[in-house]
A and B are shown apart, each in its own frame.
Chain A
Amino acid sequence: MVIHIDNKEYNIKSGKNLLEACLSVGLDLPYFCWHPAMGSVGACRQCAVKVYKDENDTKGRLVMSCMEGVKDGLYLSIEDKTAKEFREQVIEWLMTNHPHDCPVCDEGGACHLQDMTVMTGHDYRRFKYKKRTYTNQYLGPLIHHEMNRCIQCYRCVRYYRDYAGGDDLNVFAAHNHVYFGREKDGVLQSPFSGNLSEVCPTGVFTDKTLKEHYTRKWDLTMSPSVCNHCSVGCNTIAAERYGELRCILNRYNGDVNGYFLCDRGRFGYEFVNSENRIKRVIIRNRAGEASTEEELMQHLQPLVSMSKIIGIGSPRASLESNFALMQLVGKQNFYQGISEDEAHLNRVCIDVLQSGSVHSASLKEIEQADAVLVVGEDIWNTAPMMALAVRQAVVKTAGAEASQHVQIPVWLDSAIKELAQEDKGFLAVLNVSASPLDELATHAWHATPDDLSRAAFAIAAYLQPGKLQADNFSEELTNQAKAIGEALKQAKNPVIITGVSSYNDNVIKAAFDIAASLNTAGRKTGMACVMTECNSMGLALMDAPAFNHAMDSVRPNGHATAVILENDLYRHLTPNLVDNFLNKCDHIIVLDSLHNSTTEKASVLLPAATFAEGDGTLVNNEGRAQRFFQVIPNADTQVKESWQWLWKMQMLRSQKVNGHVLHPDELLQKMETDMPQFKGITSVSPGHDYTIHGERIPREPHRYSGRTAIQANKNVSEPKPFYDGDSPLSFTMEGFKGVPPSWAVPFFWAPGWNSVQSVAKYQDEPNGSLKGGNPGVRLLQDKKKENADLFFKDVPEQFVITKDKWLLLPKFHVLGSGELSGYTKALEVLSPELFAIISPKSAEALNVKEGDMLQLTDAGIAYGSLPVKVLDNMCDGVVFVNAGSRGTVGMNWGTRINLAKVN
């Protein structure tokens, strides 16, 4: 529809409010309380504009633009004098109590309040009375609190409570002494608390970890990056100064994480700066160091030239590095560095997602689902942002449903909430144990993985009667299946979520059967499979055998060299297996960034770049390949991307010393040619020599300060900027000014918009796609295959609980799990201790109580003993062990083990 803004015509999508409309056509209009992901409440009065009856109306009336919808032919004015004065006054009164402490405020320079003050033109303080002041609270190691700066926009509580479902942050008191905080000092309980630092338009809530090494936004060198800490693959901005990673910011991607990140992703970056980093080459058992690269190469020459060379890939290394390893050792000698079981489960996920019978759902699609079923994956803890998306699906479906019967647009947030009351969209959670998601669920049910899969098969049987082999389901299962199946049938775009962490392929198969049964005409069904690491999907797509086959391939005294890529094998596999393998190899070359049990075994240890020092591509669980870019220059260190090391080794092995500098895009090109499953991967980002009008894209904002002196402690003359030959991004302030292509956005900034709100200038419309489409290449295609009738018919037997054998399963923790994020102090203190977790009934059967020690043994493997923790709301017959945290070891997850009380 057409609307007139200050006498100019604009084409606007219907259904928007006036504020969104103005922003979507690129106009500047101040606002505070409206948030693109949370809608309007009209709390701050900052967004006032004049609206006119028709073109002859000269008087008009003031309205809050965020509270009024667009109408065809509407006339409005942003520039009107009264409207402008009104907005200026609003800032003036919002600022009466503001401390004006920008120089010592962490938000300064990236502050929406500063921007809006300048935008409205308010520049003189008339209020001459005392300001009210507050006592701040301790909110834990992640978020800093400074209440005096508050302007009462209510975004924080609306985000924390309504959007993210937290209940320990609230608003207190009234009038001019409104207080946003907790009931008393204490750690914020929501694992999504970090977003407060971006949601709050002022410096009330700020990133406490950044405070430890504070840098103004304009002084940061920033790069587009991808979160490393789970398989969701949220887009981030990594930010550096003085060779240190300073913080992680959200990078909007309309298909993935939108405006938010989880706390593991936002705060888990500190491992990059950790003392545990491997920064130098280490050669063990050698007389004299190999101090130059030449010496190192001489040392490596015989090792990589052994006739048997085995490569162990990694689910947390980039595609480029995994592929470079495959190139070095040859396809037949490349193995996934994960257990046979996990590799199998990943394979099943890929098979079902590629079957063509279901659509691999993006996070955005999950958020928009009108019914969700989660089977056998504790997504709250394994894929936090996916759980947040499910929450939106559940809450928003009810709102959308309610709004259909009345004339209230969905963005009118408080009205919609009133209307929907406690109504919720459909969510069923069938899991081994409870999680906070259960509170939102229409059905929550806990059982062993076998029984979960039976429950899911029962639903499939309800949806497609007679298609399964056996359906001797209990009455309970049949009734439950009927209720869930019926609700899913009512939905137009249901999503079925499952994953590998129950170590049971039937769970995934049954989930697929449901999704496939629902995917009929008129219904778009999505499916999501959660995996364990940030590139589990990428590694699985390479389709290599699992680790145990590597072992079989080395004969005793077979004289082999093993090259282990960024993988602590002891975390993925049982110790005996790893020891066996390593003992068989003559030489062990390990590439990694942090010291761990595997790097200890290395005869040659090469310092690998983390995501911050290197370039690469990761594939998330949706099958979306996403590129991350280096942000810390590593010119004067030995740290290199693994693919660079591996390329050097390949040159050695093939004795081709041609000095060719390898670029990551060449690796992807080769990958695309060699492996059809990676078709299209090269478009994840253009080549390293891409430019816009001959210019590269600067990683530094144009206000970056101190460039000439930044290295003055080492050398007083200005150093040449680090040259990044791997990508079209430069380590300078100069270059292309303007909105870069969406895959290459190092930071969000626009004239007058220094805060994160500037993302609006990079989008087609608020909450929409980034200009030119959201970044990422989907590798899994929906195309129906010939054998499109994939359907799993075998239903497993019911799980039988025995007294001596217990099903061993991993228990993940939203902040604590994550090999790398574990090296962040702030998260470490929030991680759980290691426990053997069992149900009350199991505890009774074992005659143990909380605090007793349990001995865990599995066919001869002694896992040691762990203190008991008794968990209500988990099924019987299962023992959980905290997984993924620091200090955990690989176990035979999904097998039955012995438990015995230690006396």
Chain B
Amino acid sequence: MTKFSDEKLAKVQEIIARYPDGKQKSALLPVLHLAQEEFGWLSSDTMDYVASLLSIEPIEVYEVATFYSMYNLQPVGRYTFEVCQTGPCMIKGSDDIISYIEQKLNIKPGQTTEDGMFTLKTVECLGACGYAPMMQMGKFYKEHLTKEKVDAIIDECRKTAAANN
């Protein structure tokens, strides 16, 4: 059974308390983020659990969670590359970056490497067009991407992961 730790539950209560009485649904986005942090991705079980915490219908959670690309509805790797493919990034070569990553990691957008290390996703404009092409990796923006930069990022990730294990 999916369940938050007591500490996280307290955090949920704190988030809910930010909104007026009866408007606990407003806490949905941050609580989903919390859930994603805690459980890695949002399974239907997790979403149902969130629904029960906020006393809303599961369908109301699905509606929201499926809308945003930031929520993972399938298990993801340790690192997620979300490459922007909107106009400006595309003009600056995001297609090449995407196919380079595909080739290098042997996965397609939406897939995760067998070792569970990397997930590749394509997303729409992340508001960093001035630094195109770019991608988001967790909380970080990786900008002015080139093949070399991608190599370096992947190496870096592997190293950090090895060190932390």
Cα–Cα, bound, A167→B62 (Å): 13
B67 touches which of A168, A173, A183 (Cβ 8 Å): A173
Q: By the criterion CB–CB under 8 Å, are B59 and A168 in contact?
A: yes
Residues of B contacting A171 with CB < 8 Å? Answer: 63
How far, in whole Å, are A171 and B58 apart by their CA atoms in the complex?
A: 13
* Closest chain B residue to A174, Cβ basis: B67
Q: How far is the CA of A897 from the CA of B58 in the complex (A)?
A: 43
**A 165-197 binary contact with B (CB < 8 Å = 1; else 0):** 001101111110001001100000000000000
Tell me the nearest residue of chain B to A183, going by C-beta. Answer: B59
Chain B contacts for A182, CB-based, 8 A:
59
- Report the minimal beta-carbon distance from A69 to chain B, rounded to whole angstroms: 31
Number of A residues with CB within 8 Å of any CB on chain B:
11
Asked whether, in the complex, the Cβ of B66 is within 8 Å of the Cβ of A167, the reply is no
The interface residues of chain B lying within 8 Å CB-to-CB of A175 are 124
- Distance of A172 Cα from B63 Cα, bound (Å): 5
Instruction: Give bound CA distance, A549 to B60, whole Å.
Output: 57
Q: Flag whether B68 is at the interface (Cβ < 8 A).
A: yes
The answer to the question of B57 belonging to the interface, with a C-beta cut-off of 8 Å to chain A, is yes
Neighbouring B residues of A173 by C-beta, 8 Å: 66-67
**Complex contacts, B59 vs chain A, CB 8 Å:** 167-168, 170, 182-183
Q: In the bound complex, how far is the Cα of B14 from the Cα of A34, in angstroms?
A: 41
- Hey, which chain B residues are within 8 Å of A174, CB to CB? 66-69
The majority secondary structure among interface residues of chain B is loop
Q: Which of B60-81 contact A (CB under 8 A)?
A: 60, 62-63, 66-69
How far is A174 from B70 in the complex, measured between Cα atoms in Å?
12
- Inter-chain CB contacts under 8 Å: number: 24
B58 touching A172 by the CB < 8 A rule? no
Q: A744: shortest Cβ distance to chain B, in Å? A: 44
Q: How far is the CB of A168 from chain B (nearest CB, A)?
A: 6
Contact A172 B62 (CB under 8 A): yes
Rounded to whole angstroms, the CA-CA distance of A183 and B57 in the bound complex is 10
Chain B 23-53, CB within 8 Å of chain A: the 1/0 string? 0000000000000000000000000000000
- A182, B58: Cα distance in complex, Å: 11
Query: In the bound complex, how far is the Cα of B122 from the Cα of A175, in angstroms?
Result: 13
Complex Cα spacing A168 to B62, Å: 11
* Chain A residues in 8 Å Cβ range of B67: 172-174
> Which residue of chain B has its CB nearest to the CB of A172?
B66
Contact A170 B62, beta carbon cutoff 8 Å:
yes
The chain A residue with its CB closest to the CB of B63 is A170
Complex alpha-carbon distance, A179 and B62, angstroms: 11
**A168 contacts across to B, CB distance below 8 A:** 59
The answer for the CA separation of A175 and B62 in the assembled complex, in Å, is 16
Q: How far is the CA of A237 from the CA of B92 in the complex (A)?
A: 58
Instruction: Determine the distance from Cα of A642 to Cα of B66 in the docked complex, in whole angstroms.
Output: 57
Q: How far is the CA of A183 from the CA of B68 in the complex (A)?
A: 17
With a 10 A CB-CB cut-off, give which of B58, B59, B69 has the most chain A CB atoms.
B59
**Which residues does chain A contribute within 8 Å of B57, judged by CB atoms?**
167
**A183 cross-chain contacts in B, Cβ below 8 A:** 58-59, 62
**A175: nearest chain-B partner, CB-CB:** B124
Q: How far is the CA of A174 from the CA of B65 in the complex (A)?
A: 10
Alpha-carbon separation in the docked complex, A173 to B71 (Å): 11
Query: What chain A residues lie within 8 Å of B62 (beta carbons)?
Result: 170, 172, 183
Interface string of A214-240 (1 = CB under 8 A from B): 000000000000000000000000000
In the assembled complex, the Cα of A182 lies from the Cα of B57 at a distance in Å of 12
Residues of A within 8 A of B66 (CB): 172-174, 179
CA distance A168 to B60 in the complex (A): 9
Closest residue on chain B to residue A169 by CB atoms: B59
Most chain B CB within a 10 A radius of its CB, from A168, A170, A175, A183: A183
Most buried by B among A172, A175, A179, A182: A172
- Chain A residues with CB under 8 Å of B68's CB are 174
Q: How far is the CB of B41 from chain A (nearest CB, A)?
A: 16
B85 → chain A closest CB, angstroms: 11
From residue A428, how far is it (CB to closest CB) to chain B in Å?
A: 21
> Across the interface, which residues of A come within 8 angstroms of B63, CB to CB?
170-172
B61 to chain A, nearest CB (A): 9
Q: Which residues of the partner chain B approach A170 to less than 8 Å between Cβ atoms?
A: 59-60, 62-63
In the bound complex, how far is the Cα of B125 from the Cα of A175, in angstroms?
Answer: 12
Q: B48: nearest residue on chain A (CB-CB)?
A: A183
B110 to chain A, nearest CB (A): 12
CB nearest neighbor in A for B60: A170
CB distance from A186 to the nearest CB of B (A): 11
Could you tell me the distance between the alpha carbons of A182 and B62 in the complex, rounded to whole angstroms?
10
**18 additional A-B residue pairs with CB within 8 Å, beyond A168-B59, A174-B69:** A167-B57, A167-B59, A170-B59, A170-B60, A170-B62, A170-B63, A171-B63, A172-B62, A172-B63, A172-B66, A173-B66, A173-B67, A174-B66, A174-B68, A175-B124, A179-B66, A183-B58, A183-B59
Chain A interfacial positions (CB closer than 8 Å to B): 167-168, 170-175, 179, 182-183
Pick 23 A–B contacts, CB within 8 A, sort by A. Answer: A167-B57, A167-B59, A168-B59, A170-B59, A170-B60, A170-B62, A170-B63, A171-B63, A172-B62, A172-B63, A172-B66, A172-B67, A173-B66, A174-B66, A174-B67, A174-B68, A174-B69, A175-B124, A179-B66, A182-B59, A183-B58, A183-B59, A183-B62
- A-B pairs, 8 with minimum CB distance: A172-B66, A183-B59, A173-B66, A174-B67, A170-B63, A170-B59, A183-B62, A172-B63
